[in-house]
């Protein structure tokens, strides 16, 4: 990777980017900012994929979409992102059956500035690695996961980690929502 991945405890970089929100004419695009989740007092889960119109990426995006309500139930704003443009995102959503009814924004980091600040740009092609960030309502990064370009992530693990972070307690190995936390 070209630089260090943004680390736990650091503040998520400020951004304002165009995102695809809908396939409805005139409602396709809107700005998404780093302040949106903070103003709402919510957590943010931002996951990145390398390229639109590829093979592993839509399986992950569709899986996040299937669990969208679970993120909402946890007061988390879910955002998908890549370095492709909003127009490529829109075309892909129109083209791919599993992406037409997405409930979360597809952020376009065409300048690659946010991916670069996060330290997740792959050196050769300058596409984002499969990275996931969980950010608390104050804007602090609380969890980072980065996968190689060829390996899809586990959405259930993202939810499990979000649950554990939201307890604000000590959670043992393999802890899941509803289980006892550790007492000191």
Candidate list 6, 21, 44, 57, residue with the active-site label: 57
Give the CA distances from residue 128 to residues 59, 103, 108, 166, in Å, rounded to whole numbers and listed in that order.
17, 22, 11, 27
Give the whole-angstrom CA distance, residue 67 versus residue 99: 14
Q: Is residue 155 within a helix (H) or strand (E), and if so which, with residue range?
A: helix 155-167
Establish whether 57 is a catalytic residue. Answer: yes
Give the CA distances from residue 94 to residues 18, 77, 83, 155, 181, in Å, rounded to whole numbers and listed in that order.
17, 23, 18, 24, 44
- Residue 147 near residue 129 (C-beta atoms within 8 A): yes
Catalytic residues: 57
């Amino acid at each position: 990777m070209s630089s260090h991945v943004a680390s736990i405890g650091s503040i998520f970089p400020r951004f304002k980017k165009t995102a695809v929100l809908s396939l409805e004419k005139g409602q396709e695009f809107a700005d998404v900012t780093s302040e949106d989740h903070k103003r709402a007092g919510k957590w943010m889960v931002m996951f990145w994929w390398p390229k639109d119109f590829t093979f592993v990426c839509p399986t992950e995006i569709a899986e996040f979409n299937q669990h969208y309500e679970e993120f909402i139930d946890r007061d988390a704003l879910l955002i998908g992102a890549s370095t492709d443009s909003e127009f490529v995102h829109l075309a892909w959503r129109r083209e791919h059956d599993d992406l037409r009814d997405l409930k979360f924004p597809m952020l376009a980091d065409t300048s690659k500035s946010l991916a670069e600040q996060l330290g997740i740009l792959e050196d050769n092609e300058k596409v984002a690695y499969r990275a996931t960030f969980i950010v608390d309502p104050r804007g602090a990064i609380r969890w980072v996961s980065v996968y190689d370009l060829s390996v899809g992530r586990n959405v259930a693990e993202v939810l499990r980690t979000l649950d554990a972070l939201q307890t604000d307690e000590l959670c043992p190995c393999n802890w899941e929502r509803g289980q006892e936390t550790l007492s000191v």
